[in-house]
Each structure stands twice: as structure tokens, then as C-alpha cells.
């Protein structure tokens, strides 16, 4: 016998052995399901670029949330499709009629255990599709971070007052976490947390989402405020700023092409860390599965496990409901 051979395969011989030595586990309670809420009553529209995902009216969304709660899911991330868009995105802080505010009240009722996180941004609410207020600089229309911050505070507070457990600012606006934290605290909403889209990259993988949320920029792109995909050290600075400003959870987005960033963030800060498995990542797997090119269940669970192995504590994913079903079996 060759004593130099060090065999590692003996621990892989059966499912029992494999499960004993398994280092990473994905559970339903690691998953956060995005939900697109449309302002129109009775609305239910399939999103072509994201098979299996829908835009839903407020009541339909509440019913979806109820079913997801029953399935064991713990949290949803809400995106709103408002009735009206303007230059500022003012429909996003409409306490009574706002689509997210109404959805929060309905979901609270239908699925009281579910953690409701709201995406806080303006791209779905502005007529120009950018993530805040615009101003002119050097003959160009650019994002006005200062003016946008004031509006972010209004939107986040309105969500909190309508029942959000956490708000998730996604616009990569400088100072977004601190201005929201201050607004919440001053209004007595100290218990509402902030999940910060800290390291959000200007990514091609958001393509399908722009159809889902009807928030594509009408001119230009988002590279002057979202991060350059080439930068890892800069992600650490973004996270450190958000931590200082009071983020409770930090996020890396997208997930698949940014596993090193997830790893570094978790290692360096040890904070609750979320990975956003975005629309394009979902669409790729769905399309390949529909073509019969890969096995959807195996691939999705492998991907989710990979995010957790890299350091994510929680995963925002459109696969959440499917994964919840598979994980229950």
C-alpha cells in the first residue's frame, strides 16, 4: 500500500457521511424574496425576462406574501410600480396612496410574521429613470446627491411609518445611510433597521429588473453613482462608510461575479452580510434550465450554497420560493 496517498474521498461515500462533514447549509430562513407591487388593483402580469416572477397588485401581493410565509420564507423585499412618475419621484413618499405604503399595510395583515424590507430608491418613481434628483453640471444632467438625500429621508420615513421592518437604500447616494438613520431616529422610528446596498456595482446583470420594475434610465447609465466592477478595495471603503453611518446589514450586489467581495466584506467586518442574487443571474439560470441545458434545482441550490460559503448570511433571490420548496423536501 502506498502510504503517501492521502485519500479525502472516504468522507464522500454516502449521503450520511457527506452530511456529517458538510460545512455550509442553506436554509429557507436565509432567503429574502423580492416582490414587485403594482399600483393597479387586480394587477397580475408575468415578467417576460424573469420567468416565474410577476408584477402584482396590492391585494395580490399580500396573498403572495401569505403563501410565502406559509412556505417558510421569513422576509420579502418590496419594489413599487407607482401610478405617477415625476422629476423627483414624489409618489415614493405618499403616505396614504403610495404603492409601497399600501402594500405594507396589506402584507402586515395577510402575513404578520414576515419581515418586510423596502427598497428605497427613486428609479421606479422618476420620469427620467435615474435614482434621484437631477441637476446640471458642465452641460450634463447629473445626479444631485444632496437634493436626493433630503427626499430619501422622506421616502424611508414614509415606509417606516407604514410598517416596514427595515429600509434598504439602493441608490448609491453619498450619505444615504446617515440621512435615513437620522430621519428615522428623529421621528421615533429607532426600531426600523437599515439594510444598505453598500457595494452595488454598475452591472449588466440588472437588465431583466429594468423591465420588472420599469425603472430603466431614459438617458445615460448609472456608472457615475454605482461602483465600477473592477474595484474590490473600494467596496471595502463603501462598506466602512455605511457601517459608520449606521447600517445594520450590509449588502453586496450582484452576487455571482462578486464572490470575492462578499468574502472580504464578511471577513473584515463580521456584520450581517447580504448577497443580492440579481435578475440577470436568475434569468440566465432560468433560460438555460428551460432549454434543458442544466438542472435547475441542482444549479440553484449550488449557487445559493456558494454565496453562503463565501460569507453571505442572507441571500436576496428570485429563486426563494422554489428553493424553499426544494429545501422542505
**Alpha carbon distances (Å) from 123 to 144, 152, 170:** 14, 12, 10
Q: Which is nearer to ligand PBG, 59 or 214 (CB)?
A: 214
Q: Out of 85, 154, 200, 266, pick the active-site residue.
A: 200
Q: What is the nearest approach in angstroms of ligand PBG to the Cβ of residue 18?
A: 32
Q: How far apart are CA 129 and CA 125, in angstroms?
A: 7
What residue number has its CB nearest to ligand PBG? 209
160 class by beta-carbon count within 10 Å (0-12 exposed, 13-18 middle, 19+ buried): buried
Q: Running DSSP on this structure, what letter comes out for residue 237?
A: H
Does 93 bind ligand PBG (CB under 6 A)? Our answer is: no
- 200 noted as active-site residue: yes
Does 198 bind ligand PBG (CB under 6 A)? Our answer is: no
**Measuring CA to CA, which residue among 223, 191, 189 is closest to residue 206?**
223
Q: What is the nearest approach in angstroms of ligand PBG to the Cβ of residue 307?
A: 14
Q: Which is nearer to ligand PBG, 66 or 210 (CB)?
A: 210
13 class by beta-carbon count within 10 Å (0-12 exposed, 13-18 middle, 19+ buried): exposed
Write the secondary structure of 304-321 as one string of H (helix), E (strand) and C (coil): HHHHHHHCCCEEEECCHH
Q: Which is nearer to ligand PBG, 222 or 319 (CB)?
A: 222
Does 258 bind ligand PBG (CB under 6 A)? Our answer is: no
Does 225 bind ligand PBG (CB under 6 A)? Our answer is: no
Tell me the H-state helices in the chain.
15-21, 58-71, 99-110, 145-161, 176-186, 207-213, 233-245, 259-269, 279-290, 296-310, 320-328
**Measuring CA to CA, which residue among 53, 130, 48, 146 is closest to residue 88?**
130
Each residue 141-180 as x (binds ligand PBG by CB under 6 A) or -, in order, gives -----------------------------xx---------
Which residue stretch of 103-111, 117-125, 240-248, 301-309 sits at the interface with ligand PBG (rule: CB under 6 A)? 117-125
| Residue 94: all three cell numbers together | 405618499
Q: Out of 85, 154, 253, 286, pick the active-site residue.
A: 253
Q: What is the nearest approach in angstroms of ligand PBG to the Cβ of residue 297?
A: 21
260-299 residues in contact with ligand PBG (CB under 6 A) are 278-279
Q: What is the nearest approach in angstroms of ligand PBG to the Cβ of residue 66?
A: 23
Q: Running DSSP on this structure, what letter comes out for residue 10?
A: G
Does 238 bind ligand PBG (CB under 6 A)? Our answer is: no
Q: Which is nearer to ligand PBG, 45 or 59 (CB)?
A: 45
| Binding interface with ligand PBG (CB under 6 A) | 119, 121, 123, 131, 170-171, 206, 209, 222, 278-279
Q: Which residues participate in catalysis according to the annotation?
A: 200, 253
Amino acid at each position: 500500500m502506498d502510504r503517501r496517498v492521502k485519500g479525502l474521498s472516504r468522507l464522500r461515500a454516502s449521503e450520511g457521511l457527506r452530511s456529517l462533514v458538510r460545512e455550509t447549509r442553506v436554509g429557507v430562513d436565509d432567503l429574502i424574496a423580492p416582490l414587485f407591487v403594482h399600483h393597479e388593483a387586480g394587477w397580475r402580469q408575468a415578467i417576460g425576462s424573469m420567468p416565474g416572477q410577476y408584477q402584482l397588485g396590492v391585494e395580490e401581493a399580500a396573498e403572495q406574501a401569505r403563501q410565502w410565509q406559509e412556505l417558510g420564507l421569513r422576509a420579502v423585499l418590496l419594489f413599487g410600480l407607482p401610478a405617477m412618475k415625476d422629476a423627483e419621484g414624489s409618489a415614493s413618499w405618499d403616505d396614504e396612496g403610495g404603492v409601497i405604503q399600501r402594500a405594507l399595510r396589506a402584507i402586515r395583515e395577510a402575513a404578520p410574521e414576515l419581515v418586510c424590507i423596502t427598497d428605497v430608491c427613486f428609479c421606479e418613481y422618476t420620469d427620467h429613470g435615474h435614482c434621484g434628483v437631477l441637476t446640471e453640471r458642465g452641460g450634463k444632467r447629473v445626479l444631485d446627491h444632496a437634493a436626493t438625500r433630503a427626499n430619501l429621508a422622506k421616502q424611508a420615513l414614509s415606509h417606516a411609518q407604514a410598517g416596514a421592518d427595515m429600509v434598504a437604500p439602493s441608490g448609491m447616494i453619498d450619505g444615504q445611510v446617515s440621512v435615513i438613520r437620522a430621519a428615522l431616529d428623529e421621528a421615533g422610528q429607532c426600531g426600523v433597521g437599515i439594510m444598505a446596498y453598500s457595494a452595488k456595482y454598475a452591472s449588466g446583470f440588472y437588465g431583466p429588473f429594468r423591465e420588472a420594475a420599469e425603472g430603466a434610465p431614459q438617458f445615460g447609465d448609472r456608472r457615475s453613482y454605482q461602483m465600477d466592477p473592477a474595484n474590490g478595495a473600494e467596496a471595502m471603503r463603501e462598506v466602512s462608510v455605511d457601517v459608520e453611518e449606521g447600517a445594520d446589514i450590509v449588502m453586496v450586489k450582484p452576487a455571482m461575479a462578486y464572490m470575492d467581495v462578499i468574502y472580504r466584506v464578511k471577513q473584515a467586518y463580521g456584520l450581517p452580510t447580504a448577497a443580492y442574487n440579481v435578475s440577470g443571474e436568475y434569468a440566465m439560470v432560468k433560460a438555460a434550465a428551460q432549454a434543458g441545458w442544466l438542472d435547475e434545482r441542482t444549479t440553484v441550490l449550488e449557487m445559493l450554497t456558494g454565496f453562503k460559503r463565501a460569507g453571505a448570511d442572507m441571500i436576496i433571490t428570485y429563486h426563494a420560493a422554489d428553493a424553499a420548496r426544494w429545501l422542505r423536501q
